[in-house]
Amino acid sequence: MQLLCESESLEEYLLESNEVDYTKSIVKEKIGELFNPSQTEIEKVRIAFEFVRDEIAHSWDIQSVQVTCKASEVIAYKEGICYAKSHLLAALLRSQGIPTGFCYQRLMLFDVPEKGYCIHALNAVYLQSMDKWVRLDARGNKKGINAQFSVDKEKLAFITETEKDEIDYPVIYTSPHPDIVAVLNEHADALDMYKHYLPTRI
């Protein structure tokens, strides 16, 4: 799929924001643990991706009601749904000067269309050494989901089924979509939010 950048300026994919709060002390502490000057750009991307994928639990997978949104909250609670995990991955990589954006898919919420749809979040990362954007999905693996770090062929958590009205949106956004941020800020029970209130289209 041909990815489309929302902005032609890579600088916009490096900005700090309310959700991508990489100068907060708890985030800076984790940054210090993960990265060092000897690492290459690609090594940093892989390390950050695998940390968020493997060390931050997906709230639905662990059946937790905790809602996180900001990168600092995700680190503090060590959990979040895909939206929050995408905010954390962006924060970690932007702190290292690696442009990182936000991508979305419309997916079936569970296993059949009758059970509804939701918007799923992942990231796109610009690799200067390869002059290309790559998409990475740090949602977290489990049975049936096997997202991997790859700079050649995408190995995402989900492949959209267009015949079932699923959509792989091509835009790389500079900021988390406002509908995504709103739903996280409006709810205090992650399980109820996940089942009933996730956006279905962007």
d(CA 73, CA 97): 22
Nearest-angstrom CA–CA distance, 123 and 133: 10
Question: Model-level pTM?
Answer: 0.97
Q: Answer whether residue 112 shows pLDDT above 90.
A: no
pLDDT at 51 > cutoff 90 = yes
All structural domains of the chain with their residue ranges = 4-196
CATH architecture entry for 4-196: Roll (3.10)
Inter-residue contact 61 to 140 (CB < 8 Å) = yes
Q: For position 140, what pLDDT does the model report?
A: 97
Q: How confident is the model over 57-99, as pLDDT tens digits?
A: 999 999 999 999 999 999 999 999 999 999 999 999 999 999 9
Q: At 42, is the pLDDT very low, low, confident or very high (cuts 50, 70, 90)? A: very high
Under 8 Å between Cβ of 9 and 79 = no
**pLDDT at res. 1:** 86
The span from the CA of 109 to the CA of 131, in Å, is 34
Percent of the chain with pLDDT over 90: 98
Residue type present at position 92: L
The answer to whether the CB of 76 falls within 8 A of the CB of 59 is: no
φ, ψ (nearest 5 deg) of residue 53: -65, -45
